[in-house]
Structure 1
Amino acid sequence: MKKRKTDRRTLYTLGLIKDAFLKLVDEESYSKVNIARICREAGITRSTFHVHYSSVTDVLNDVLNDALLLTETNPVPFFAGNGKSLDYLKSNESLVPACQRIGDAGKYQKLLMDPDLSEYIIGRIVVNERDTVLPAVIEKTHLPREAAETLFRYVIHGSFAVNRAHNFVKDEKWPHDVQMLNEFAEVGYERLSRK
């Protein structure tokens, strides 16, 4: 992505572009979004677009960065085996998976549901969460880093799949599923730590 100033006008234009991108993804799939459509929707010229971004993928990355900022205050990931009650999880949003915290911001739900982007988004979540979650998994299980990395990837992919099955909406079944997965992880971590 291009280096850019962060004055008020620049921030406004970036907001227009990202909002237009999200609106287009809401209406159709990511694969149908192109620079011309973003420019029309945002009411900007192609040259203005290129002052800030080189491609649609750059916009996607910037939008995902915004979304993942929602997860940076996560002190202890839910799958580090907290053994917390359902009520505790409901009132402590930071303990739910990153993909669900992103999904809670309604403007990202369609993006998360786009089948063309699932693996890409999971990859971005993995990169974002690795430094926080992987040490917690190693501490909890006493596994070597390589084995803990496998478990970490499994949990991220599984969490994404479960949240996707709920359309990234906390419907009435979602808290039950999160608690069940949390209990499953806790038992698994305890078992692995005894090896």
Structure 2
Amino acid sequence: MQEPTLDRRTRYTVMVIREAFFELFREVGFNKMTVADICRRADINRGTFYLHYEDKFALLDALIDEALEAAPPLEGNAQASLCQRAPANDEYLMLYADDEVFSRIAARVIEQGAQQTVPSIMERTGLSEQDAYLLFVHNAYGNLAVNRLLGWKRGPEFDRAQTLLNLYSSGGMAALRNRA
């Protein structure tokens, strides 16, 4: 996506593209949606769409990034990783719950979280960067899968699951740190 300006027309165009995307997402899903469908629904021409996004995948990635950025941290855990943060609204929840989009969300979470988390794992365990990355991917996918299973619904069950997953990860880290 090109660098957005704060121009009113640009904000409006991005908003109508976003609204059209989510309407079509509800109706036909991501795989069946085309750029032409989005443009018709948003009442814009394809050239206007391509000024903002390379293709529907770039639009999806921008929306995933927006969802990840908006995801509130867990109570009492402002440092919770992206895979532990529930979607901030129903549109984002729709993305997180969709089978077609889940692996793309996981890939974005891993891409965004690896730079910060992998060095921390290396420091806590003494593992190589490659091995720490493997553990990070395992934990990220596991957290996402469990939270998806729970429907990303905040509450006691979600909080209990996060506590359990954190204990499991911490125990594994401690075992790796203490290995001979």
TM-score (norm 2): 0.87
2:103 partner amino acid: E
Given that residues 137 and 148 in structure 1 are in contact (C-alpha distance below 8 angstroms), is that contact kept between their aligned partners in structure 2? yes
Given that residues 21 and 38 in structure 1 are in contact (C-alpha distance below 8 angstroms), is that contact kept between their aligned partners in structure 2? yes
What runs of 5+ residues in structure 2 fail to find an aligned partner?
none
What runs of 5+ residues in structure 1 fail to find an aligned partner?
75-88
1:90 is aligned, of 75, 98, 119, to 75
Give the drift of 1:36: 2.3
Q: How does 1:131-146 map to 2 (within 5 A)?
A: 131-146=115-130
The whole-number CA distance in structure 2 between the counterparts of 1:171 and 1:29 is 28
2:175 partner amino acid: R
Give the drift of 1:142: 1.6
Q: Is 1:54 the counterpart of 2:54 in the alignment?
A: yes
Which of the pair has the greater relative contact order for Cα pairs under 8 Å at 6+ separation? 1
Given that residues 100 and 168 in structure 1 are in contact (C-alpha distance below 8 angstroms), is that contact kept between their aligned partners in structure 2? no
Aligned CA RMSD, in angstroms, stands at 2.2
Given that residues 134 and 152 in structure 1 are in contact (C-alpha distance below 8 angstroms), is that contact kept between their aligned partners in structure 2? yes
Given that residues 83 and 109 in structure 2 are in contact (C-alpha distance below 8 angstroms), is that contact kept between their aligned partners in structure 1? yes
1:7 corresponding residue in structure 2: 7
1:162 corresponding residue in structure 2: 146
Give the drift of 1:95: 3.4
The whole-number CA distance in structure 1 between the counterparts of 2:123 and 2:70 is 25
2:26 partner amino acid: D
The whole-number CA distance in structure 2 between the counterparts of 1:68 and 1:172 is 22
> After TM superposition, which residue ranges in structure 1, 4 or more long, deviate above 6 angstroms?
none
Given that residues 104 and 168 in structure 1 are in contact (C-alpha distance below 8 angstroms), is that contact kept between their aligned partners in structure 2? no
TM-score (norm 1): 0.81
Give the drift of 1:183: 1.0
Give the drift of 1:40: 2.8
Q: 1:99 to 1:106 in 2, by over 3 A?
A: farther
Partner SS, residue 96 of structure 1: coil
The whole-number CA distance in structure 1 between the counterparts of 2:95 and 2:83 is 11
Q: 1:97 to 1:14 in 2, by over 3 A?
A: same
Give the drift of 1:164: 0.7
Deviations 1:89-136 (A, max 9, x none): 5343x3334134352333211111111222222111111011111111
1:57 partner amino acid: F
